[in-house]
């Protein structure tokens, strides 16, 4: 039996906004109630709406279709569908995390359309400035969304994303970052959404994967020597081991400090549960194992150098989407892992005591405010496990919610013994303990309702 001490008299720090995502159902007419319920803090806009950005969304070639046009003229831009999409994301309570660049072109070997370096870096940077002006300052019949994070390109180490050289990307980053920071000093500029650092933890990596480490070193050297603005560094990892996330985050943190970049945010903006030994990994990531992995990752990231995180992906038609079944749009067990972590995030403060990894494949994190507390416990194992709680402070838990193969974060009296403070976690499960709750309500609907969808998962308006 594992023991966990929680001290509600101490605050270990703020609960971080780790339950961000990449993309969402394409909502053009109504907000996303399931995003509101899960308190999704950020939605990263990369690969939005499918291949080639759906030809209408977010990507520079979609928003600015004629590269030779004048970026100072509103008529040079086509904001229509991106406007509608961002409006509903903001109405859903999420802040867009705007990737300035293009969607991955996985079939670039046949023909690459937009994965090439821009013909004129200064001109490209001016286009980016026009987009920021539109969404943050109301320019060109725009908005005041106050979007903070602007990411320059994505995975330039990866040929489907960037056909140019490393030095060309560095120069594009420099020109763009300097121009944007000069005009919009309040925003945060960064990149480069690295493919990740697999060679740090995995043996036998190819030269291609080992080259990601060199890219990182050279980029940090470039920005530090040339004093190029870098407010955040973003990176990716797909794994079946949530503890590998922490190891990579520590590598990023060490390197930032090595180059004197101590005020740069560490942002993990693509991640998911991918078990390469499983013949159907994209099925598993939606089910109880994916939910347990996700909740475990939240607990571990909370106690790591990671400042923000965004799961890839929440677009229902994408194989990496773990939050929805398609085409039904029923919410998956993994969605409820996000909803469970939101309960902690709402409370604001991480409680003192044990947190993160509690034991082999067991994880936990507690939070409290002036009135209530909550505890997230995770069993990422195929065996039933038990945890004995040792609580200090004014709170005692009175409600247990279970997320596993058969339950969607539903109230139960089968997993928690309040008298002995003993929690029994079924295989691949998440248990959320809460205080000060009202009498348990009926479980909420398991389907994202109130929106009529076509067969591509695209929002077509309000249902009758």
Give the pLDDT of residue 437: 54
Residue 436 confidence class, pLDDT cut points 50, 70, 90: confident
| Mean pLDDT of the region 56-64 | 98
420 membership: H or E segment, kind and range? none
C-alpha torsion angle, residues 98, 14, 425, 391 (rounded to 10) = -170
Say yes or no to pLDDT of 425 above 80: yes
pLDDT at 450: 44
Separation of alpha carbons 101 and 121, rounded Å: 12
**How open is the CA angle 157-159-160, to the nearest 5 degrees?**
120
pLDDT band for position 452 (50/70/90)?
Answer: very low
Nearest Cα neighbor of 151 from 311, 43, 35 is 43
Beta bridge partners of 350: 13, 367
Are the CB atoms for 24 and 43 separated by under 8 Å?
A: yes
Lowest mean pLDDT segment, chosen from 30-39, 238-247, 345-354, 413-422: 413-422
Environment class of residue 139 by beta-carbon count within 10 Å: exposed (0-12), middle (13-18) or buried (19+)? middle
Please check the confidence at residue 92 and state whether its pLDDT lies above 70: yes
Strand partners, 416: 423
Asked whether the bond before 265 is cis by omega within 30 degrees of 0, the reply is no
Phi, psi of 100 (to 5 degrees): -90, 105
pLDDT of residue 448: 53
Average of per-residue pLDDT across 61-85: 98
Measure the CA angle with vertex 79, ends 459 and 99; round to 5°.
85
Flag whether pLDDT at 136 surpasses 90. yes
Q: Are 116 and 52 in contact (CB under 8 A)?
A: no
Q: What is the mean pLDDT of residues 26-50?
A: 98
Model confidence at 276, in pLDDT bands (50, 70, 90)? confident
CATH topology of domain 15-347: TIM Barrel (3.20.20)
Residue 153 backbone class (left: φ over 0; alpha: ψ -120 to 50; beta: rest)? left
What is the arithmetic mean of pLDDT over 134-141? 98
| pTM of the full structure | 0.94
What is the pLDDT of the chain when averaged over all its residues? 94
Contact (Cβ atoms closer than 8 angstroms) between residue 445 and residue 434 = no
Neighbours of 364 (CB within 10 A): 26
Domain boundaries along the sequence of the chain? 15-347, 350-434
Residue with tokens 């291949």: 51
Does residue 454 surpass a pLDDT of 50? no
Distance CA 72, CA 69 (A): 9
185-215 pLDDT, tens digit each: 999 999 999 999 999 999 999 999 999 999 9
Please tell me the CATH superfamily of domain 350-434, with its number: Golgi alpha-mannosidase II (2.60.40.1180)
Residue 458 pLDDT greater than 90, yes or no: no
More confidently predicted of 126 and 459: 126
pLDDT of residue 258: 98
Query: If pLDDT is split at 50, 70 and 90, which confidence band does 110 have?
Result: very high
The residue behind tokens 């001290």 is 7
Q: Determine what percent of the chain is predicted with pLDDT higher than 90.
A: 92
Q: Which residue has the higher pLDDT, 414 or 452?
A: 414
Contact 165, 127 (CB under 8 A): no
**Whether residue 362 has pLDDT greater than 60:** yes
Q: What is the pLDDT of residue 443?
A: 35
**Residue 456 clears pLDDT 50, i.e. is over it:** no
Say whether pLDDT at 438 is over 80: no
């Amino acid at each position: 039996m594992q023991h966990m001490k929680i001290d509600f008299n101490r605050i270990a720090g703020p609960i971080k906004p780790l339950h961000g995502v990449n993309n969402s159902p394409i909502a053009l007419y109504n907000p996303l109630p399931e995003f509101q319920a899960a308190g999704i803090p950020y939605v990263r806009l990369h690969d939005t709406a499918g291949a080639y950005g759906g030809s209408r969304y977010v990507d520079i070639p979609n928003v600015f279709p004629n590269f030779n046009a004048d970026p100072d003229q509103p008529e040079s831009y086509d904001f229509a569908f991106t406007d509608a999409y961002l409006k509903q994301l903001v109405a859903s309570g999420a802040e867009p995390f705007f990737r300035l660049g293009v969607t991955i072109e996985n079939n670039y070997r046949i023909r690459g359309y937009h994965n090439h370096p821009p013909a004129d870096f200064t001109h490209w940077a001016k286009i980016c400035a026009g987009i920021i002006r539109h969404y943050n300052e109301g320019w060109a019949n725009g908005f005041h969304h106050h979007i903070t994070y602007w990411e320059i390109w994505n995975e330039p180490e990866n040929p489907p994303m960037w056909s140019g050289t490393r030095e060309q990307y560095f120069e594009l980053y420099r020109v763009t970052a300097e121009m944007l920071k000069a005009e919009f000093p309040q925003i945060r500029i960064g990149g480069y959404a690295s493919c990740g650092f697999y060679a740090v933890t995995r043996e036998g990596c190819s030269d291609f994967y080992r080259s990601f480490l060199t890219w990182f070193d050279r980029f940090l050297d470039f920005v530090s020597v040339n004093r190029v603005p870098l407010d955040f560094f973003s990176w990716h990892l797909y794994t079946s081991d949530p503890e590998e996330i922490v190891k990579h985050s520590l590598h990023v943190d060490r390197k930032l400090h090595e180059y004197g970049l101590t005020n740069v945010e560490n942002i993990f903006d693509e991640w998911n549960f991918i078990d390469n030994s499983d013949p159907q990994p994209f099925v598993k990531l939606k089910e109880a194992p994916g939910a347990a992995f996700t909740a475990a990752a939240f607990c571990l990231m909370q106690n790591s150098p990671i400042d923000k995180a965004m799961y890839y992906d929440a677009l229902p038609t994408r194989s990496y989407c773990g939050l929805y079944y398609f085409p039904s749009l029923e919410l998956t067990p993994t969605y409820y892992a996000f909803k469970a972590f939101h309960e902690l995030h709402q409370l604001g403060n991480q409680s003192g005591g044990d947190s993160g990894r509690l034991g082999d494949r067991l994880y936990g994190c507690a939070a409290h405010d002036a009135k209530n507390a909550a505890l997230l416990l995770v069993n990422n194992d195929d065996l039933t496990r038990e945890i004995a709680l040792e609580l200090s402070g004014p709170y005692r838990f009175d409600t247990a919610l279970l997320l596993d193969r058969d339950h969607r974060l539903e109230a139960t009296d089968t997993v928690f013994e309040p008298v002995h403070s003993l929690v029994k976690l079924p295989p691949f499960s998440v248990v959320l303990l809460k205080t000060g709750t009202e009498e348990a309500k009926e479980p909420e609907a398991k389907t994202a309702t109130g929106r009529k969808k076509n067969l591509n998962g695209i929002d077509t308006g309000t249902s009758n």
